[in-house]
Amino acid sequence: MLRTLAGATAALMLSTVALAAEPSGKLVLYTSQPNADAQQTVDAFVALYPDVEVEWFREGTTKVMAKLRAEFEAGAPQPDVLLIADMVTMEGLKAEGRLMPYTGADVSAYDPSLMDADGQYFSTKLITTGIMYNTNAPMVPTSYKDLLQPEMKDMLAMPSPLTSGAATIHMAAITADPALGWAYYEGLAAQGSNPQGGNGGTYKAIAGGEKLYGFMVDFLPIRGKAEGAPVAFVFPEEGVSAVTEPVAILSTARNPDAARAFVDFLVSVEGQELAADMGYLPAHPGVTPPAGFPPLDEIRLLDFDPARALAEDEANKMHFVEIFGG
Amino acid sequence: MRGLLRGGEGVPLVALSCLCLLLLAYPLGLLVKVGLGDGLGPVLDTLTSGPVMRALKNSVESALLSAALALVGGTLAALVLGLTDVRRKGAFTFLLLVPMMIPPHVTAIAWIQALGPSSPLLQSLGLAPPLGSTHPLYSREGVILLLGIQHAPLVFLLVLAALRSLPREMSDAARVSGAGPARMLRRVILPLLAPTLIAGYALAMVSALGNFGIPALLGIPARYTTLPVLIWQRLASFGPSVLSDMAVIAMLVALVAIAAVVLQMWLASRRRNALIGPPQPPLDIRLGRARPWVEAAMALAILATLVLPMTALVTSALVPTYGVSLSAATITLDNFAEILLRQSATLRAFANSTLIAALSAVTLAAMAVLVARYVAARDRRLRRIGKGIAMLGEMTYAIPGLVISVAFILAFIRPLPILGLSLYNTLWIILLAYLCAFFSVALKPVSSAYLQLDPALDEAAQVSGAGVARRMLRISLPLIAPAAASGAILVFLTAYNEVTVSALLWSSGHETIGTTIFNYEDGGYTTLASAMAAVTVVVTVLLMALLDRFGRGLPAGVVPWRI
C-alpha cells in the first residue's frame, strides 16, 4: 500500500514536471519497426510535438542491439528511446541498469503482465506467434499438436530461436507450458522440421510452397492474405506467445522530457490506434484490432514470465541446439 | 633508416604508413582489445568450443572449394575472351561482370526462388520438386556452388587484366616456332599468369571466407554454419558478452585469412616472373569449327549466372505480394512506383552509394598503386612494410563487414581529436569503413602486376636521375594502369551493393543501397526489395555504360570490356 502511494506521488510529481516543460529539442530513437511503420510513428509524434526533432535509426533487433552494445562499449550511447523487439531484451537491459524508470505513464487500462512493474519498459503492441499455413495445403491445423501428425512430416518451417527474438519467446512460452514442454520440440525435430533464420524467410518458404505449415508472427500472413497471397494464420487452441515491442528510455538519455512524451504517445489511445492502422494488434484493450484479427479478449496468450525467460535464456538455447543441432 | 629514405621514398612512405595505420591497424587493434577484455581464458574457451570448431571447418572447406570453382570458371572465361576469336567480346565481358552487382543475398534469394518447388520456370517445365521437399540448394554443395559463382567474376577480371599486359612477343615467338594453342597455353601463357592465378585464388578464397549473405540463406537451413554466420547468431543473443564473443571469432577469421595469404605470398615468390608489357589487344587464336560451341557455352554461363537470378528478381518485383504467381491479372508496377516515387530514402541511397563507392574506388586504386610498389620492392625493409600493410588489408577484408562496422563505431563515435569534428552518423564514416574493408580488393591486381614488372626498368630510370614521382608517372603507371583500373572497378562493384559494412553505420539521410534492400527484405517487403535490387542492376549497367563512353579517352586496357 505504502509502495503504491509512494509510486503515485512520484508519478504525480513526474507528470507535473513533464507538463511544466513542453518537450523540445532532438530526440534520438533506435527501433526495429519496419521502415514505413517507423516513419509513420515518428510523423504522428512530431505532429503532436512540433518542437521535437526526431532522429531515428531502423534495423533488425540484432543489428540495433549490436550497434547499441558497441556504443555502450565506447561509453557514448546515442539514443534517448528504444522501441524494439521483446520484453526479454528489455529485461536484460534493465538488469544492467541501462534503463530509466518512468512511473508517470498512464498504463491503467493495460494488462499488468504487459508492463514492467518498475516502469522501465512499456509494451506497445502484440505481435503474436501462432501457426501459418499455405492454403494449397491439404489440412488446416488448429492446435500445436496438429503439427505432430504424420501427414505433416517434412512439411514444417519455423524461424530459429538462435536468430529471431519472437521465436525465442515462443520457445520459452511453449516449453514452460506443462501440456507441451520440451517433448513438443522433440516431436517437431522428429517431424523433420528445421528451424532457420527469421520470420521473413519462414514466411517466404510457406508462401512460396517449399513448406506448408509452421510457426509465424501474425501480421505477415494476415497482411499477405489480404493482398492475395495463398496463406492464412491460425490462433492455436493452446494460445499464442507474443512479443510486445516495448518502448524504454535509456538511463543515459539526453532529452528525457521528449523521451517521456514519446512513451506517453505510444501508450495513449491515439498511439494505439496508429498501431492498429499499421496492421498490428494493439495492446490497449479499448482499441479495435485491424481487419483479420479477432478481438483482443478472444486471443488466448500462453503464460510468459520475462524475468524467468531471461534467466533461462542460455539454457533454453543450449537445449534447443541439443535437439536440433547448431 | 637513412638508406630507406634515400631516393625520395621518405615522404610518401611515412604518409602512407600513417594512413594505413589509422584505417587498418587502429580498428583491428580495438577489436583485439574488446576480444581480450575478459582475459585469455574466455578466449580459449570460445575458440575450442564445439560450434566454433565446426564453423571453422565449414568456413575453411567452403572457402577452399568455392575458390577453386571460381578460379576455374573465371580463368576459363578470361582465356576464351582474351586469347580466342569469339565474337562480341565486349558484350560477353560486360555481361559476365554484371552478376557481381547483385548483392550476394539477393543472388541467393533469386536462386532459391528459381530452383525451389514454387519456381515458375521449373513448374512450366514440369521439373519442379514436389511441395514441401527440401530445397536442393540448402546444402553444403549449394553454399559452395553459389560462393563459386559469386566470386568467379573477381578472378575473371584479374586474369583478363593480366592477359592484356602479357608481352605479346612471348606468345608470338611460341606461335612462330610452331606451338599449337594447347602447347602455348600450357608452356607460355599459364606459367606467365601464375602470380595472377594465385592472387585470384586467394582473393576468391578470402572473399568466400568473409561472405555472410550466401551461407546465411543457404547454410543455416542445412545446419552448415560458417564463422560469419556464427558471429551473427552470437550477436542475436543480445547479452552483455556479445561484443567480446564476436571479436574473438572475428580474430579467428582474420587468422585463417593470414594463413591463406602467407601461403599465397610464398607461392608467388617462387613463381615470380619479371615480365610485363604495355596493354595489348587480345590474341585471336582461331577456334575454327569449335567457335559456335564455345560461344554457346559462354551464353549458357551468362544465362545461368545472370538471366536466371534476374528473371526471378524481376518476377517477384512485378507481383503485389510474394507468393502470388505472375500473370496478366496480377502484374503491377506499384513496387517500382513505391521505391522510385514515394520513398525518398531509396533515391538518396542511390546517390549516397554511388558517391562513396566511386570515392573509395578512386582512393583505394591510388593507395594500391603506392603500396604495391613496396610489396614488390627489391629493398627488403621496404618490402616488409609493404607486405605488412597488405597483410592488414587482408585481415580487414576477411573479417565480416558487421564486425568492421562495430570496430568503426568504437573508433569514431567520439569527435576527432584536434579537429573536434564527429564522423559518427555521417556518410564519411561509411567511406572510411569501405577503405578499410576493401583495400585488399584494390591491392591484389596491382601487386600481382607489380610482381610481373621488371625492377630493372625502375632502376634504369633511377640511375638516369629520375625522381620517385617521375618514375611512377612515366614507368610504372602506364604499365600497371589496367590492373589498377580493374582494382578500382572491383572495389566500386563490391562497395556499391555491400550490405554488412554499412549495416550499423548508416543513419537517416545517409542510407546505402545494400542496407535499404536488406531493410525491405527484413521488414517483410520482399517485393519492394526485389524491385530495388532490379533497379540497382539497371543503374549499375547505366553507370558502366557511362564509364564506357568516358573510357574512350583512357589508355587501352583500363576499361576492361573495351576490347
Q: Which residue has the cell 534520438?
A: A28
Asked if A207 and A222 sit in the same domain, the reply is yes
pLDDT at B70 over 80: yes
* Cα–Cα dist B8/B562, whole Å: 36
In the A/B pair of chains, how many CB contacts fall below 8 A? 175
Q: Which amino acid is at B149?
A: I
Number of independent structural domains in chain A: 2
- The residue-averaged pLDDT of B241-258 equals 85
Asked if A260 and A118 sit in the same domain, the reply is yes
CB B368 within 8 A of CB B393: no
**Per mean pLDDT, which of A36-50, B225-239, B329-343 is the most reliable?**
A36-50
pLDDT at A139 over 70: yes
Asked if A149 and A225 sit in the same domain, the reply is yes
Beta bridge partners of A34: none
pLDDT at B4 over 60: no
How confident is the model at residue A21, as a pLDDT?
A: 60
Residues 6+ apart with CB under 8 A from A295: A288, A289
Q: Report phi then psi at A317, rounded to 5.
A: -65, -35
Beta bridge partners of A57: A30
* Cα–Cα dist B378/B449, whole Å: 15
pLDDT at B273 over 70: no
Q: Is residue A310 part of a domain?
A: yes
Q: Is residue A182 part of a domain?
A: yes
Q: Is residue A80 part of a domain?
A: yes
Q: State whether residue A213 is helix, strand or coil.
A: strand
What's the mean per-residue pLDDT of chain A? 88
* pLDDT band for position B277 (cuts 50, 70, 90): low
pLDDT-above-70 percentage for chain A: 93
The closest alpha carbon to B167, from B276, B55, B75, belongs to B276
How confident is the model at residue B288, as a pLDDT?
A: 80
Q: State whether residue A27 is helix, strand or coil.
A: strand
Residue A76 has its nearest CB partner, among B243, B330, B413, at B413
How confident is the model at residue A16, as a pLDDT?
A: 45
A181: region left, alpha or beta (phi > 0 left; psi from -120 to 50 alpha): left
How confident is the model at residue B7, as a pLDDT?
A: 52
Cell of A57: 535509426
* pLDDT band for position A1 (cuts 50, 70, 90): very low
- The residue-averaged pLDDT of A129-134 equals 95
* pLDDT band for position A142 (cuts 50, 70, 90): very high
Q: Is residue A107 part of a domain?
A: yes
Q: How far is A46 from chain B (nearest CA, A)?
A: 16
Q: Which residue has the cell 489480404?
A: A226
* pLDDT band for position A83 (cuts 50, 70, 90): very high
Q: Among A212-216, A221-225, B276-280, B341-345, name the one with the lowest average pLDDT.
A: B276-280
pLDDT at B556 over 70: no
- Return the residue of A nearest to B216 by Cα: A197
* pLDDT band for position B119 (cuts 50, 70, 90): low
Cell of B335: 513496387
The closest alpha carbon to A169, from A23, A49, A310, belongs to A310
| Sign of the CA dihedral running B255, B261, B265, B271 | positive
* pLDDT band for position B549 (cuts 50, 70, 90): confident
How confident is the model at residue A20, as a pLDDT?
A: 46
Q: Is B233's Cβ below 8 Å from some Cβ in A?
A: yes
Residues 6+ apart with CB under 8 A from B272: B195, B451
Q: Is A21's Cβ below 8 Å from some Cβ in B?
A: no
Asked if A278 and A229 sit in the same domain, the reply is no
- The residue-averaged pLDDT of A264-284 equals 93
Q: What ipTM was reported for this prediction?
A: 0.76
Q: Is residue A151 part of a domain?
A: yes
How confident is the model at residue B267, as a pLDDT?
A: 81
* pLDDT band for position A15 (cuts 50, 70, 90): very low
Q: Is residue A1 part of a domain?
A: no
Q: Is A315's Cβ below 8 Å from some Cβ in B?
A: no
pLDDT at A12 over 60: no
How confident is the model at residue B2, as a pLDDT?
A: 46
Provide the whole-model pTM.
0.82
B233 contacts A162? CB cut-off 8 A: yes
- The residue-averaged pLDDT of B73-102 equals 86
Asked if A84 and A108 sit in the same domain, the reply is yes
CATH of the domain at A35: 3.40.190.10
pLDDT at A122 over 90: yes
How confident is the model at residue B131, as a pLDDT?
A: 64
pLDDT at B423 over 80: yes
Asked if A185 and A320 sit in the same domain, the reply is yes
Asked if A210 and A316 sit in the same domain, the reply is yes
Asked if A154 and A104 sit in the same domain, the reply is no
pLDDT digits (tens, 9 = 90+) for A20-42: 468 889 999 999 888 778 889 99
pLDDT digits (tens, 9 = 90+) for B411-421: 888 887 777 78
pLDDT at B63 over 70: yes
How confident is the model at residue B73, as a pLDDT?
A: 94
Residues 6+ apart with CB under 8 A from A145: A184
Structural domain boundaries enclosing A204: 127-242+302-324
How confident is the model at residue B181, as a pLDDT?
A: 77
- The residue-averaged pLDDT of B124-130 equals 68
Q: Among A282-291, A309-318, B236-245, name the one with the lowest average pLDDT.
A: B236-245
pLDDT at B72 over 90: yes
Beta bridge partners of A28: A55
How confident is the model at residue A2, as a pLDDT?
A: 46
Q: Is residue A148 part of a domain?
A: yes
How confident is the model at residue B147, as a pLDDT?
A: 93
How confident is the model at residue A78, as a pLDDT?
A: 92
* Cα–Cα dist B44/B393, whole Å: 25
Which position has the higher pLDDT, B419 or A48?
Answer: A48
Q: Among A137-151, B104-118, B419-433, name the one with the lowest average pLDDT.
A: B104-118
How confident is the model at residue A181, as a pLDDT?
A: 93
Q: Is residue A6 part of a domain?
A: no
Q: Is A233's Cβ below 8 Å from some Cβ in B?
A: no
Q: Which of chain B's residues have a Cβ under 8 Å away from the Cβ of A155?
A: 132
- The residue-averaged pLDDT of B344-369 equals 91
Q: Which of chain B's residues have a Cβ under 8 Å away from the Cβ of A207?
A: 322-323
Cell of A4: 503504491
CB A300 within 8 A of CB A289: no
**Burial category of B49 from C-beta neighbours within 10 Å (exposed 0-12, middle 13-18, buried 19 and up):** exposed
Stretch 434-493 of chain B: residues touching chain A, C-beta under 8 Å:
none
Q: Among A278-287, B77-86, B414-423, name the one with the lowest average pLDDT.
A: B414-423
Residue B409 has its nearest CB partner, among A34, A74, A325, at A74
CB A241 within 8 A of CB A126: no
pLDDT-above-90 percentage for chain A: 55
Asked if A314 and A228 sit in the same domain, the reply is yes
pLDDT at B399 over 50: yes
Q: How far is B200 from chain A (nearest CA, A)?
A: 32
pLDDT digits (tens, 9 = 90+) for B487-519: 898 899 889 878 888 888 888 788 898 888 877
How confident is the model at residue A8, as a pLDDT?
A: 52
Beta bridge partners of A127: A243
The closest alpha carbon to B196, from B366, B79, B282, belongs to B79
Q: Is B502's Cβ below 8 Å from some Cβ in A?
A: no
How confident is the model at residue B124, as a pLDDT?
A: 66
How confident is the model at residue B279, as a pLDDT?
A: 61
* pLDDT band for position B314 (cuts 50, 70, 90): confident
* pLDDT band for position B315 (cuts 50, 70, 90): confident
- The residue-averaged pLDDT of B136-149 equals 90
How confident is the model at residue B82, as a pLDDT?
A: 83
How confident is the model at residue A239, as a pLDDT?
A: 93
pLDDT at B205 over 60: yes
Which position has the higher pLDDT, B240 or B360?
Answer: B360
Q: Among A20-29, B123-132, B255-264, name the one with the lowest average pLDDT.
A: B123-132
Beta bridge partners of A234: A131
- The residue-averaged pLDDT of B269-290 equals 69
Residues in chain B: 563
B243 contacts A69? CB cut-off 8 A: yes
Asked if A278 and A175 sit in the same domain, the reply is no
Asked if A192 and A259 sit in the same domain, the reply is no
* pLDDT band for position A13 (cuts 50, 70, 90): very low
pLDDT at B466 over 90: no
Q: Which amino acid is at B449?
A: A
Give CA B228 to chain center in angstroms: 16
What is the DSSP secondary-structure string of B440-481? HHHHHHHHHHHHHS-HHHHHHHHHTT--HHHHIIIIIHHHHH
Asked if A92 and A232 sit in the same domain, the reply is no
Q: Which amino acid is at B518?
A: F
pLDDT digits (tens, 9 = 90+) for A201-213: 888 889 888 889 9
* Cα–Cα dist A167/A160, whole Å: 6
Stretch 323-382 of chain B: residues touching chain A, C-beta under 8 Å:
323-324, 330, 343, 345
Q: Is A61's Cβ below 8 Å from some Cβ in B?
A: yes
Q: Which of chain A's residues have a Cβ under 8 Å away from the Cβ of B54?
A: 326
- The residue-averaged pLDDT of B305-332 equals 82
What's the mean per-residue pLDDT of chain B? 82
What is the DSSP secondary-structure string of A238-306? T-BEEE---EEEETT-S-HHHHHHHHHHHHSHHHHHHHHHTT-EESSTTSPPPTTS--GGGPPBPP--H
Cell of B52: 566454433
